[in-house]
Amino acid sequence: MLIEEGRINGDTTTTDITKKKGGWITFPFILGSVSGLTLVAGGWYANIIVYAIQQYNIDPITSAQIHNVAAGGYNFFPLVAAIIADSFFGSYWLILVSAFISLLGAIMFTLSAALPQLRPPLCDPSTLLCKTASSPQTAFLYLTLTLAVIGLGGTRYLLGSLGANQFDKKEHQRVFFNWFIFSFEMGFVIAFTLIVYVQNNVSWAIGYGIVVVVNIFSIGLFLSGSPFYRRLIPRGSPFVSIGRVVVASFRNLNLSTQDHEYFSESTTSRAPTSGLRFFNNAALIKIVDTQSSVDPQKSWRLCSVEEVEDLKRMMKPLAIWGAGLLESTIYAVGSNLITVQALLMDRHVGPHFQIPAGTVYVFALIWTSFLLVILDRILYPLWDKIFCSSLTPLQRVGIGYFFNMAGMVAYAIIERQRLHLITTHNLLDQHNAVSPMSVIWLFLPLALLGTGSALYLPGEVEFYYREFPKSLRTTSTAMTSLRLAVGYYLSIVIVDIVRKRTSWLPNDINHGRLDKLYWLVSILGLVNFFIYLTASKLYKSNHNESDIDVSE
């Protein structure tokens, strides 16, 4: 259960405090912090594959796997942070602590780039001999990554839930979530362009040093908005209540409604809903006991109808979450192997400028940011006027999944053509030869992936925020992040299996068949798309709204 921070006695109502705190005045502080802290994360995330290859002498595919582990971690940790926030401290303090952990990670990245003793010597260009990093050097790199991952994970979606808590109207929350994703994407855009350029062309240490300064500024901006935030603090852990419902359901399995009735703390709700009926056992109480006052401090044998319904409200959206797991694998594969692919393509734009390989993915982020504004300001309002109804969150998610699948098909076609050019120009004998194919061709699949992200990311966050119990609002916004984390870990497994069982992914991908991996992931995406359509069609909303059906 959540209560307003500052509520001291029963005379102070939640409505009174709501009028004094929150609202649009918090908008610039929260979104500015989102952009700044995301830029900090992008400062190491965008170029980590190139950094591992060039500065730590790690082979390309292993570097991509390190990227996947880090990406999976920063998408998994928001759930851990959300559980802690919902159970103990609330979002505000956990965001602040995580921002300082992020700062420590940024400082350590700067030290690793500035101090030669923290890295192995560079490869000898004449002999191509490379010395691997020592155990202490590798440990320092992994510790740095761990701190950076925790720092991003503890701020990323918690800022989203804190921001949504500032608004009462669903329309205002929808607008906030769109701009929240926009701010997140813009932070990455700046990191993938400006920071990566400085790292590749000026100095790795200076690039990471800029990240440290931005992190400090972001902490200051977040603290500046403190007087205006509406802060919800937990009053007991909702997860203990969920555990009690599960245990009580099993313990009361043999009870019947003939001699028992349902215990409710509210006079307006006396019987639980019929869905997931097994858990209704947790609220059964002897009829004779209902005549006397029931101890509000309930045991692990009895729960209220409200607690049972909260568990059901949490479990129902999990079907939608599970239906998107394979989809997240598409996003993971497409966002990391593209750097390896871009390294072996013509990245020149004009005679003097070459696009850094770590910057190529920024086109998807730019396109996502642009499309979010167009959707929010033009396309969604136009749709509402023409069809007299809004696209539901699940409908937006389904359309986004389709665009992601189309993006992987485009990846496969372009990679097949790149390999064809390598063969026809007799470049196979050269180590890691660069194909004459322009890297600009990758902008097509990136645009498709960016369109998918603009549709499904805000839709998912909004969906879980609406459908989860109020006591789990922070956890709800981390569900999208958890799905992405599982996707990154699944992609690690898939890539490992492909490397061991096939010849598709050698260290020099010119001698492999990366396109076949893309086709495999595209097929998984198609299967996942139909699974999602089925799950969303069967889903019944927790609200008194029309059933949500993306097939419409």
Q: Give per-residue pLDDT as tens, 523-551.
A: 998 999 999 999 999 888 866 443 344 43
pLDDT confidence band for 11 (50 / 70 / 90): very low
Residue 545 belongs to some domain of the structure:
no
Both 214 and 330 in one domain: the answer is yes
Average pLDDT over residues 409-431: 91
What is the model's pLDDT at position 10? 37
What is the model's pLDDT at position 8? 37
Average pLDDT over residues 435-444: 92
pLDDT confidence band for 19 (50 / 70 / 90): low
Instruction: Give 532: exposed, middle or buried? Use CB within 10 Å, 0-12, 13-18, 19+.
Output: buried
Residue 318 belongs to some domain of the structure:
no
What is the model's pLDDT at position 473? 75
pLDDT confidence band for 109 (50 / 70 / 90): very high
The rounded distance, in Å, linking the Cα atoms of 149 and 329 is: 19
Of residues 514 and 171, which shows the higher confidence score? Answer: 514
Strand partners, 346: 438
Average pLDDT over residues 103-118: 91
Both 382 and 248 in one domain: the answer is no
Average pLDDT over residues 293-304: 66
Both 365 and 434 in one domain: the answer is yes
Q: Which of 7-11, 302-306, 433-437 has the lowest mean pLDDT?
A: 7-11
Residue after which a domain boundary falls, among 257, 272, 307: 307
Residue 342 belongs to some domain of the structure:
yes
Average pLDDT over residues 197-204: 89
Both 356 and 501 in one domain: the answer is yes
Average pLDDT over residues 165-185: 83
What is the model's pLDDT at position 419? 93
Residue 511 belongs to some domain of the structure:
yes
Both 183 and 214 in one domain: the answer is yes
Average pLDDT over residues 122-130: 70
Say whether 436 sits in a helix, a strand or coil: strand
Both 109 and 155 in one domain: the answer is yes
Question: What whole-number percentage of the chain has pLDDT above 90?
Answer: 23
The rounded distance, in Å, linking the Cα atoms of 145 and 43 is: 12
Residue 314 belongs to some domain of the structure:
no
Residue 214 belongs to some domain of the structure:
yes
Average pLDDT, the chain: 83
Who contacts 171 (Cβ-Cβ below 8 Å, separation ≥6)? none
246: domain range? Answer: 238-307
What is the model's pLDDT at position 236? 62
Q: Per-residue pLDDT for 294 more than 60?
A: no
Instruction: Give 385: exposed, middle or buried? Use CB within 10 Å, 0-12, 13-18, 19+.
Output: exposed
CATH code (residue 383)? 1.20.1250.20
Both 501 and 460 in one domain: the answer is yes
The rounded distance, in Å, linking the Cα atoms of 206 and 131 is: 25
Residue 412 belongs to some domain of the structure:
yes
Per the CB < 8 A criterion, the answer to whether 435 and 346 are in contact is yes
What is the model's pLDDT at position 288? 57
Average pLDDT over residues 132-151: 89
Both 243 and 229 in one domain: the answer is no
Average pLDDT over residues 231-250: 79
Residue after which a domain boundary falls, among 264, 279, 307: 307
Strand pairing report for 345-346 and 435-438: parallel
Reported as a single tens digit per residue, the pLDDT across 458-506 is 888 889 888 888 777 777 877 888 888 888 888 888 888 998 899 898 8
Number of domains present in the structure of the chain: 2
Residue 6 belongs to some domain of the structure:
yes
pTM here?
0.72
Instruction: Give 543: exposed, middle or buried? Use CB within 10 Å, 0-12, 13-18, 19+.
Output: exposed
Both 295 and 328 in one domain: the answer is no
Both 224 and 93 in one domain: the answer is yes
Winning range, highest mean pLDDT, from 80-94, 184-198, 275-289? 184-198
Both 125 and 101 in one domain: the answer is yes
Per the CB < 8 A criterion, the answer to whether 404 and 411 are in contact is no
Both 242 and 222 in one domain: the answer is no
